[in-house]
Amino acid sequence: MTKGPVGEEGAPQAGRPDRSSGADDTARAKKRERDRRYRLEHPEQLAEARRTWVEANRERIRESNKRWRTEHLERARELNRDSMRRATARKRREADTRAKARVRVRVWREEHPDRVREYQQQWVEGNRDKVREYYNRYYHSHQAEVSARAAARRDADPERAKAAQRAWAKKHKDRRAELQRARRADPEVYAAELEANAAARRLKRALARAGMPPKLLHPSTAAERRANERAAGEFFEDERLPERLRQSAAFAQSLTKHMFKHHARMREFAVSYIATRDRMGLPPVQVDDVVWARAVEIVLDSSRRVDLITSRDVAAAVRSAKAAIRREERQRQYDQLVKALGAHMRRHRARLAVEAGVEVRARARRGKPRVTLDVIAVQVGLEEVAENMRTDGLTKDDVRRAMASVYRQSQAPAETADEAEDQGLSASWKPVASDISRHRPAIGSRW
């Protein structure tokens, strides 16, 4: 800006000094001071005016900012980096401050537990409504979690839970009665309870009239049911379950086949092993335990994959194999008995008929029920055959079926099994079996 007077051509002229520049500076300074005092005295009006202007000129501000950022991209990035550094430093300082405060508060609480407890109790006593509201709001938001924690506490100490339940019922008898009345107020629920009770009474009377024992139920607590559900969930949700079941089934099948094929050899090994232990002075063991332990060891060694099999699976496989062997041995003894008894009846028919006639006359003199001659002959033949055969796996029903089969074979070809049943043959074997039990206790005890 030029100093002093200016001529018509615009050149400076000597003479009077120009005072306009100083006056303008003074006026601007005064205006800035007035504006500053106004901003200090009226912050709310300025903030409101600024918000109003911003709301009315959002698009203009957005376009202005975008244009400035486009024209000054590097400066905008620099400012953004500076802002982020300041924000990060501020957040770090605040986090450090909060961490130090937490440590300080924790140390103080550990050093003054009585004052903390007293303060909490005082706050709870003075803010019962807030506490109840907090509890209700949390329960409605986390109902499943609250119920699960409560069930876990009851399961951890069932006796304490039962005692607390009994104490509550004793203290709140009226409330309990009110809850029961409210439940029975529903006609469908009440009718269902009455029907269930009536059905239980009818079943009890029917069993008593039939001479049968009452229905036995094993009451299970809620804790037991929850434990069973958790165990079932862990079992069936296991991703390895299909492979484990496959390995368990293959192991049980292999063990059963091995015992069918090598049962006698395994028992010989067990007897020799037990004799060796006796000579060494070791504690005695059972033969069956050694047999099955050795069989399990052999089958496991020969199996390709048994990494998922547990001790329960091994025990179940052993039980299954034992049951299969018993069924096989029982069927074998039954077939041998039927075959041997049939051959014995054909070979000694005349002699057995004479002995049967004597037995029929003796039964008549003693007043016993009348039994046909062929039935007595089969009974006598069974007594003779059973002396030289293994029958420890047979039951009374098996013996009766064997006698009925041999009896039908000894009749005329035209007589069928149904006709033999119509003559009451199955009922005729009952006195036969009882006579065998009386004359041969060793056999009758197994039959």
**What are the CA-CA distances from residue 433 to residues 49, 255, 313, 398, 441 (Å)?**
116, 37, 40, 11, 11
pLDDT at site 111? 94
* Calpha distance 381→340 (Å, rounded): 10
Angle between helices 311-347 and 241-280 (to 10 degrees): 70
Alpha-carbon distance of 420 to 248, in angstroms, equals 46
Q: How far is CA 223 from CA 44, 226, 248, 349, in A?
A: 65, 5, 30, 68
- Separation of alpha carbons 53 and 67, rounded Å: 19
Query: What is the predicted pLDDT for the residue at 359?
Result: 83
Gyration radius of the chain's alpha carbons: 51
Rounded to 5 degrees, φ, ψ at 127 are -135, 50
Kindly report, residue by residue over 285-342, the tens digit of the pLDDT: 888 889 899 999 898 888 888 888 888 888 998 999 888 888 888 888 888 888 888 8
- Residue 16's pLDDT band (cuts 50, 70, 90): low
Q: Which of 285, 252, 250 is nearest to 271 (CA)?
A: 285
Measuring CA to CA, which residue among 302, 274, 306 is closest to residue 266? 274
Predicted local distance difference test score (pLDDT) of residue 384: 85
Banded model confidence at residue 61, pLDDT cuts 50, 70, 90: very high
- Convert the pLDDT of each residue in 382-415 to its tens digit: 888 888 888 888 888 888 888 888 888 776 443 4
140 alpha-carbon distance from chain centroid = 27
Left, alpha or beta for 211 (phi > 0: left; psi -120 to 50: alpha)? left
Answer yes or no: is pLDDT of 137 > 90: yes
Which residues in 38-69 are b (16+ Cβ under 10 Å) and which e? eeeeeeeeeeeeeeeeeeeeeeeeeeeeeeee
Q: Which residues of 331-366 are buried (b: 16+ CB within 10 A; e: fewer)?
A: eebbeebbebbbebbeeeeeebeebbeebbeebeee
Highest mean pLDDT among 16-25, 52-61, 210-219, 426-435: 52-61
Confidence of residue 68 (pLDDT cuts 50, 70, 90): very high
CB contact at 8 A, 375 and 425: yes
Average pLDDT of the chain is 83
Q: Alpha-carbon torsion 299, 303, 307, 309, what sign?
A: negative
- DSSP annotation of 144 reads H
Query: What pLDDT does 419 receive?
Result: 43
Query: Cβ contacts of residue 320 below 8 Å, gap of 6+?
Result: 252, 255, 256
pTM higher than 0.75: no
> pLDDT tens digits for 250-277?
888 899 898 888 888 888 998 998 899 8
Q: Give the integer Cα–Cα distance in Å for 243 and 122.
A: 60
CB 336 within 8 A of CB 369: no
Per-residue buried b or exposed e for 186-201, using 16+ beta carbons within 10 Å of the residue's own CB: eeeeeeeeeeeeeeee
Residue with the bigger pLDDT between 118 and 20: it is 118
Q: Which residue has the higher pLDDT, 241 or 428?
A: 241
- HEC string of 184-200? HCCHHHHHHHHHHHHHH
